[in-house]
Amino acid sequence: MKKLAKTSAKKLGFIGAGKMAEALARGLLSAKIFAASDLIASDVEAARRNKLKRSLKVETTADNLEVVRRSRTIVIAVKPQTLNQVLEAIRSAGEESAIELAGKLFISIAAGVTLARLEGLLGPVARVIRVMPNAPAMVGQGMAALVRGANATKGDQALALGLFRAVGDAIALGHESLLDPVTGLSGSGPAYVYVFIKSMADAGASEGLAPADALRMTLQTIRGAEASMRESRMAPAELIRMVASPGGTTEAALQRFAEAGFSDIVAGAVRAATARSRELGRG
Structure confidence by residue, pLDDT tens digits, 234-266: 999 999 999 999 999 999 999 999 999 999 999
C-alpha count within 13 angstroms, C-beta hemisphere, residue 163: 34
The per-residue pLDDT for 34 is 94
Q: How far is CA 96 from CA 61, 92, 122, in A?
A: 22, 6, 13
pLDDT at residue 139 tops 60: yes
Please write the tens of the pLDDT for every residue from 82-127.
999 999 999 999 888 778 888 899 999 998 899 999 999 998 889 9
The per-residue pLDDT for 8 is 61
pLDDT, average across residues 215-233: 96
Give the pairing of strands 127-132 and 142-148: antiparallel
Pure H helices in the chain: 19-30, 46-56, 64-70, 80-95, 115-122, 154-165, 179-182, 189-206, 211-232, 236-243, 249-260, 262-281
Burial class of residue 156, CB neighbours in 10 A (0-12, 13-18, 19+): buried
Q: How many Å from the N-terminal Cα to the C-terminal Cα in the chain? A: 34
**CA distance linking residue 142 with residue 187, whole number of Å:** 10
Single out the residue of 15, 22, 33, 56 nearest to residue 165, CA to CA: 33
Domains of the chain (ranges; CATH) run: 10-174 (3.40.50.720), 189-281 (1.10.3730.10)
